[in-house]
Structure 1
Amino acid sequence: PERIAPLFYAISMSQKILLIVDQMGPAFGETVLMLDSLGEKDGMVILRNFIDKDQIMPFIKGTVVDGYEFLDDDKNALRERLLALSEKIKTSYDSPTGTMPVDHFFNVRGIGTVVLGSVAEGTLKKHDELMVLPGEKTAQVRSIQKHDEDFDVAGAGERTGIALKGVDVEDLDRGTILTNDKSIKKVSELSAMARIVKYWPSPLKEGMVLHLGHWMQFVPARVQEVLPEADWHRAELKLKLDKMLVFRPGAKAVLTYPEGGKLRVVGTIDLP
């Protein structure tokens, strides 16, 4: 896409990847790097326009896409494969805590604030009290819907609509995190180890404005200091964020540089 954020959002929300390759170019390369940075190992590839596997192998070797299954371009066979996959997915509802990033939110007359998203971790239940991060508010789960049907619980990977009590749409944004997991952190400054993709042309410099992608968050971050290792493709970065980043300790975020022209995926950064 013209903007890098929609590519990040689409891959970040995915459980299994279906990669359609209909031309070789910067967009294909950037998609492969984003898939690799997000660690999306479970995927399928369909080739079109007479592109064959030998043509793309040099560009995917050593990335997660190298392990994807290659399928014929047959819509009926693909439909059957996806239906079979959906039947195999088993969602656990055993976790005492849950976390859901918000990607849409709106007010419904007679119901109040409704949010949409995919549960990232654990389980959310009706009547749960959730922190609304990065702010200080809390909200109660009034009701849960999946595919327009009411449920008492939603588990990891499920696309979910939740009606909330105690929070207004003005308190929300794309990327807002709903959670009752007390281990979740929120920071406005970060000092962490970054791994730069091998295709990146030069070392990162102080003053650059990168974007950190994690869950449905896409946060601008200014580089305050770069402490390179022997190989500048590994460096400890000190970053000042435009707004708080919410994450589980030990997670990783994707680094992007929207002003990077044909290459905007910078690499990944470990979250402390």
Structure 2
Amino acid sequence: MTVRYYTIGMAGHIDHGKTTLTKALSGVDTDTLKEEKERKITIEPGFAPFPLTDEINTSIVDVPGHEKFIRQMIAGVAGIDLVLLVIAADEGVMPQTREHFEILSYLGIETGVIVVTKSDLIDEEMRLLVEEDIGELTRSTAFATFPVHFVDSITMSGIDDLKNEIGQLLQGAQTRSSQGAFRMPIDHIFTVKGQGTVVRGTVYEGEVRAGDDLIIEPGNDKVKIRKLQVHKQDVNSAKAGQRAALNLSGGSRTAWKRGHVLLSPHVFSTTDMIDIVLSTGNGWDGKIKQRAPVKFYTGTSEVMGKLVFFDRNELENNSHQIFCQVRLDEEIVTKRGDKYIIRRPSPEETIGGGEVIDPNGSIYKFGTNTIELLKGKYEGTPQERVLHTLEKEGSLTEIDLKKLTGFEEQDFNEAIDQLLELNSIHQIQGYYFAALTLERVQSEWIDRLKQFHEENPLRQGIPKAEAVQYLKGKLHPKVVNGLIDQWIETSIISVTDQFVHLSDFKPDFPQKWSKKMSQVLERLEEMKLEPDDLLSLFKSQQLPEELYNDYKYHLIKTNQAVVLFDEVLLSKSAFDTAVEQLRSKTNGSFTVQEAKAALDTSRKFLIPFLECMDTNGYTIRDSNVRKWV
């Protein structure tokens, strides 16, 4: 039998009986703080175990109803699977009822029950008025389909029917995924004497076990799980949908606060620039101007930031599907698809909420192109999202690609498999990149080589180290080396003596100066063993001096000349002729004097020539004698 875990959120106006209803359902009083007892109000979210059946195990989150504790309310309902919207029969819909209702709507809660408490205090006529009040509140929303239950938590009237209703609703509800990486936003941190630091929260996704190594973000604080509890019971593991308390070792406890997140390492990233789709209600007055300060809530975090629009300079209430961006003052952890709430800091009121499109947004230009880009990100399939991310980032490991796309394991793997099969993406050395990126980089690189060859026709090509450095700006170094190998295999490029060039390219005199450069070489050959310096010969043909070094290098590289000394070169044909002439006129060894007599040339040229023969392996010098090899 597989046990399924869910979290039920209790929301509504202050004094409407949420805590009493929680106790009636679960038997647990969630107001545990001294101040809560004294003031008879809920200040911090309270949690109670509420096992429905052997297969369905739930927890109830009782959130504060007072307007001063909206932040705690949002933290409490983050991560719930079903909501009980509580309305007192003797008061009906109140201001915090409406605000909680709006917040729940923005968070995308689509399963729940509207519970009318204190129903023993009203008559049938009042009951009809409450029902009308509820109908007006929920009209044209997902809440309009929620069942309505009238209960009394003191006499327990209607409580059993409510329990059955909750069980029926959860029977077909989808559970959170326990597969893949672990994530738990922290809503409470405390110290247990003799045990150390404990963090508590609702497990959003994944599973954790005692002994696991995790991190707390922001801060990349490394911790180890010493012990786990679910509703004060020791357990070996905690799964998505469960309330869990984790005893931690390691890390810097003083830096942690509500809003930090306990995570599997190397999977999630922190961010302060988030692309979002925003919807607003009519529960606030005035307009929100471009880059106005806002409070951004997601998970259990509350961070100040600025709201950035790309198609308007101010936001009016009751706007739907605004594609925009929030730029935060501090980094947080979030992923694609996470729900959020935005509130105005002064006057404090809820503006709206929606869904995270891209947790790693960029700086965009104002205009319709950006709106279309964000809309495409929002509506795109997993395959399109993977492609977009790779086209934006260049090349990514599987871990980083998962971080940036934010898909569940199964969706991610299916998208990758399909894209690989369609050759829309490629993988080299553990890095993924888009086929379009490959085409663009390859085209840019070929154009760069063509331009280099046109401007430097005498050079073999671009040094390979320089080529790798250039391509590193486009892709990861491991991908670059793999691509170069592929391009060599497919004869797109070649590498000669660590110089990268187009496969069909051969260094040669530039057409414009070809005749004059040939004449320099011819003159060099005519001068045999006693040539003028090459630069003088080059200038005598009125050739551009900036081409000289390339010309000199080309003659040497293509074995048309050898260096005697400084700028003096000997044509290869003159060198070969002199070598054969000397060999024919000497025995196994010879002196400088014998070489001079055989070649009939001055010592100025003879000594460099003999040293050149040594360098090229024709002879070996032994004191004053040279021996033929």
Query: What TM bracket, shorter-length normalisation?
Result: 0.7 to 0.9
Provide TM-score, normalisation by structure 2: 0.39
How many Å separate the matches in 2 of 1:158 and 1:188?
Answer: 28
User: What is the letter of the counterpart of residue 85 of structure 1?
Assistant: G
How many Å separate the matches in 2 of 1:209 and 1:12?
Answer: 22
**Alignment partner of 1:227 is 2:314:** no
More strand by share: 1
Structure 1 residues 93, 40: closer, same or farther in 2, change over 3 A?
closer
- In 2, are the aligned partners of 1:200 and 1:266 still within 8 Å (CA)? no
**Alpha-carbon deviation of 1:178?**
0.5
**Alignment partner of 1:82 is 2:163:** yes
Alignment of 1:1-272 (within 5 A): 1-3=66-68, 4-22=70-88, 23-47=92-116, 48=119, 50=126, 51-75=129-153, 76=156, 77-78=158-159, 81-82=162-163, 85=167, 95-180=179-264, 182-223=266-307, 225-228=308-311, 233=319, 234-260=321-347, 263-272=349-358
User: What is the letter of the counterpart of residue 326 of structure 2?
Assistant: L
User: What is the letter of the counterpart of residue 268 of structure 1?
Assistant: G
What is the root-mean-square deviation of aligned Cα atoms in Å? 2.9
User: What is the letter of the counterpart of residue 353 of structure 2?
Assistant: G
Unaligned runs of 5+ in 2: 1-65, 359-629
How many Å separate the matches in 2 of 1:105 and 1:79?
Answer: 35
By relative contact order (CA 8 Å, sep 6+), the higher-ranking structure is 1
- In 1, are the aligned partners of 2:67 and 2:96 still within 8 Å (CA)? no
Structure 1 residues 164, 146: closer, same or farther in 2, change over 3 A?
same
- In 2, are the aligned partners of 1:101 and 1:176 still within 8 Å (CA)? yes
- In 1, are the aligned partners of 2:176 and 2:204 still within 8 Å (CA)? no
How many Å separate the matches in 2 of 1:81 and 1:216?
Answer: 28
User: What is the letter of the counterpart of residue 181 of structure 2?
Assistant: T
Deviations 1:92-148 (A, max 9, x none): 885242111111112223222111111111211111111211112111111111122
- In 2, are the aligned partners of 1:46 and 1:70 still within 8 Å (CA)? yes
Deviations 1:230-269 (A, max 9, x none): x9624343433121121122323221224245x4242325
Deviations 1:143-202 (A, max 9, x none): 111122211110112111101111242031101101116442311223433222255545
Structure 1 residues 108, 74: closer, same or farther in 2, change over 3 A?
closer
User: Aligned to 2:288, what secondary structure does the other structure show?
Assistant: coil
**Alpha-carbon deviation of 1:10?**
2.6
- In 1, are the aligned partners of 2:216 and 2:260 still within 8 Å (CA)? yes
How many Å separate the matches in 2 of 1:193 and 1:19?
Answer: 25
Structure 1 residues 158, 97: closer, same or farther in 2, change over 3 A?
same
- In 2, are the aligned partners of 1:115 and 1:162 still within 8 Å (CA)? yes
User: What is the letter of the counterpart of residue 223 of structure 2?
Assistant: A
How many Å separate the matches in 2 of 1:63 and 1:11?
Answer: 19
How many Å separate the matches in 1 of 2:331 and 2:263?
Answer: 15
More helix by share: 2
Structure 1 residues 6, 93: closer, same or farther in 2, change over 3 A?
closer
Structure 1 residues 185, 253: closer, same or farther in 2, change over 3 A?
farther
Percent of aligned pairs with the same residue? 21
- In 1, are the aligned partners of 2:227 and 2:248 still within 8 Å (CA)? yes
How many Å separate the matches in 2 of 1:228 and 1:200?
Answer: 21
Unaligned runs of 5+ in 1: none
**Alpha-carbon deviation of 1:70?**
0.6
- In 2, are the aligned partners of 1:257 and 1:266 still within 8 Å (CA)? no
User: Aligned to 2:67, what secondary structure does the other structure show?
Assistant: coil
- In 2, are the aligned partners of 1:113 and 1:163 still within 8 Å (CA)? yes
- In 1, are the aligned partners of 2:225 and 2:248 still within 8 Å (CA)? yes
The runs of 4+ residues in structure 1 deviating greater than 4 Å are 86-94, 198-203
* Equivalent pairs, count: 270
Structure 1 residues 147, 27: closer, same or farther in 2, change over 3 A?
closer
How many Å separate the matches in 2 of 1:256 and 1:185?
Answer: 24
Structure 1 residues 5, 69: closer, same or farther in 2, change over 3 A?
same
User: What is the letter of the counterpart of residue 350 of structure 2?
Assistant: R
- In 1, are the aligned partners of 2:176 and 2:241 still within 8 Å (CA)? no
User: Aligned to 2:272, what secondary structure does the other structure show?
Assistant: strand
How many Å separate the matches in 1 of 2:93 and 2:177?
Answer: 42
Question: Who wins on radius of gyration, i.e. which is larger?
Answer: 2
- In 1, are the aligned partners of 2:185 and 2:262 still within 8 Å (CA)? yes
**Alpha-carbon deviation of 1:36?**
0.4
